Amino acid sequence: MLPTGTDAPDFSVNDHNGNTVNLKDYRGKKVVLWFYPKADTPGCTVEGQGFRDNFKSFEEKNVQIFGVSLDNEADNKAFAEKFSFPYPLLCDVNREIALGYHAVKSVEEQYAARISYVIGEDGKILESIESVDTKTHSQGLCSRL
């Protein structure tokens, strides 16, 4: 995990709708990156629904939510639409984000680790979360921010 206080690695990848997302464009907002292993699997669905259900509260706190997986745009789009996720799912097919944030150890890995980061308005890591309970993660994180 990246230690708190370090600069968050910048990235530029497509989301599930084909839009390019650059981390640097979100300076001035807190950003939550929640990494998940595979679109439309039970644990990832529960975790994603938590962020969906708390989305308005995160918005009110000026927090941008990004789900991140190694899935392609089609798989993430189907996942987002099936469960009405109101936030972008980043399609890290080249493992750029996952490698930078230690969600994978190599480009050969098929699934990202279930970890999360909170990035501050200044682009520095505020919180690194290695142990995630899919049922309570979003609510607990929202209440801390």
**22 lies in some domain:** no
pLDDT in tens, 10-54: 999 999 999 999 999 999 999 999 999 999 999 999 999 999 999
Domain that holds residue 107: 28-144
Rama region for 47: left / alpha / beta (φ>0; ψ in -120 to 50; rest): alpha
**57 lies in some domain:** yes
pLDDT in tens, 106-126: 999 999 999 999 999 999 999
Q: Give CA separation, 84 vs 72, 114, 122, 125, 142, in Å.
A: 18, 21, 30, 28, 19
Q: Which two tokens stand for residue 117?
A: 């980061």
**17 lies in some domain:** no
CATH number of residue 120's parent domain: 3.40.30.10
Q: Looking at residue 52, what DSSP letter applies? A: H
**10 lies in some domain:** no
CA distance 71 to 68: 8
**65 lies in some domain:** yes
**14 lies in some domain:** no
Looking at the annotation, which residues are catalytic?
Answer: 44
**38 lies in some domain:** yes
**99 lies in some domain:** yes
- Report yes or no on whether pTM surpasses 0.95: yes
Query: What is the number of domains present in the chain?
Result: 1
Residues 6+ apart with CB under 8 A from 108: none
